[in-house]
Chains A and B, each alone.
Chain A
């Protein structure tokens, strides 16, 4: 049993397959809330959760504003909103301007999760085509959390993970199987 209280994963182009593999491999009693911030088409509201859910061990939810965080649930940032996780374990959504051309922005979700969970947070960045998430992962580490990037060699698109490695010293560089193994220890 670990000390961690939450996991947050960010990804963009090339991350869909990795995420579905992770979600299919989670232990069925995985008790930490898992936040997913994935770049997605902003006007497509249905279909994405369903596609991710097909093989997922746990239910995936796009949270309402001010919904409570519950353990054993997977939360996906809704299209065209930024997703914050706030003190008091609630979600807060926002329609503020895109950050790094993205809404939802991975940086903003990671910043808010780091602020709320501090050293009890695991942050993971996967394949992606821009640098959204690099500063966010850096903040996770600054506040004591554990940081992982998917091995750029395995990434379909290396830009996002490489950007992380350029701005910080990540705790672990893993391929998908190693990420799955790590999550099973939480």
Chain B
């Protein structure tokens, strides 16, 4: 599948306006190149030939909405991507909160569930699945159902297996799934206690008082303005000394300067919220 970067700024604006009008979704702050590629993917995947055709489909086909939001989202890439980060979570970050009655971890804007299952496996191995409240927010209830099914392409699992070995040495990730017909089926018990919802990080006030927020490689799909709005929101949603884990090539320059976050681990992009007097 080949993408041609054929959309211009005017088409971008027209599309953003129509999507906002019909779906009440604001993509005006989506990173430009990534948005254009996603639109081309939506078109290619659904046999739509021009941006005009796409706009007409959005306006006229009521059922297209579910397909559109699923196709425009960028899936997470791998389980245990950046194994060093997950080791830090297990060895350094979570242990800081073990004295708490309940540890709260939030994954906003979850797309394909790779990160959720990674977190759940980390917690299972620490015997913390019933002590930690994991909240996972995503764009639609049908995506919640899809993630709960836990079906992943077996070929992609090869990368996950390799990542997991880097995380944990001898053990084998395959103990967490069954295989059937070329697919891997993740153990459903892993997400038994997870709270799934469709909350919007900017529009909805809950959940708050999180100890850890996982938001990795999602800001790369936003322009600077939206990045700042979202980080401000997440800052509000963390406890003092709470942790924000972002992508290894994402950097919160302004928030460090404003003393809202401390960069505790530069290599793994681990940020800690500054102490706030309540």
Seen from chain A, the residues whose Cβ lies within 8 Å of a Cβ on chain B are: 43, 45, 62-67, 78, 80-81, 84, 86-87, 92-97, 99, 107-108, 111-112, 115, 135, 139
Contact = CB atoms under 8 A, between A and B. Distances in A.
B2 A99 contact: yes
Given A64-B251, A93-B220, A94-B221, 13 more contacts: A63-B249, A65-B219, A65-B220, A65-B249, A65-B250, A78-B248, A86-B31, A86-B32, A87-B32, A92-B32, A95-B76, A108-B3, A139-B5
A132 to B, nearest CB: 11
B163 to A, nearest CB: 7
Nearest to A108: B3
Contacts of A135: 2
Nearest to B253: A64
Interface in B210-247: 217, 219-221, 223-224, 227, 247
B18 interface: no
B172 to A, nearest CB: 18
Nearest to B166: A43
Contact of A43 (B2, B163, B220, B223): B163
Contacts of B223: 66
A44 B223 CA distance: 27
12 contacts: A43-B83, A87-B32, A92-B33, A92-B34, A94-B33, A94-B34, A94-B220, A94-B221, A95-B77, A108-B3, A112-B5, A139-B5
B182 interface: no
A111 B249 contact: no
Interface of B: 2-5, 31-34, 37, 74-77, 81, 83, 162-163, 166, 217, 219-221, 223-224, 227, 247-251
B77 A66 contact: no
B227 A80 contact: no
A96 B1 CA distance: 12
A84 B38 CA distance: 14
A65 B215 CA distance: 14
B249 A78 contact: yes
Given A45-B248, A66-B227, A86-B33, A92 B220 contact: yes
Contacts of B74: 94-96
B227 A99 contact: no
Contacts of A115: 5, 33
A84 B247 contact: no
A142 to B, nearest CB: 11
A67 B247 CA distance: 14
Q: Which of B31, B75, B76, B249 has the most CB of A within 10 A?
A: B249
A96 B5 CA distance: 14
Contacts of A112: 5, 33
Nearest to A66: B224
Nearest to B9: A87
Contact of A111 (B5, B32, B83, B221): B5
A179 B219 CA distance: 37
Which 9 A-B pairs give the minimum distances between C-beta atoms?
Answer: A84-B33, A64-B251, A65-B220, A111-B5, A95-B217, A95-B77, A93-B220, A92-B31, A93-B249
Contacts of B166: 43
Contacts of B31: 86, 92, 94
A16 to B, nearest CB: 22
A64 B34 CA distance: 16
A78 B223 CA distance: 19
A56 B250 CA distance: 26
A96 B34 contact: yes
A63 B74 CA distance: 21
A81 B4 CA distance: 18
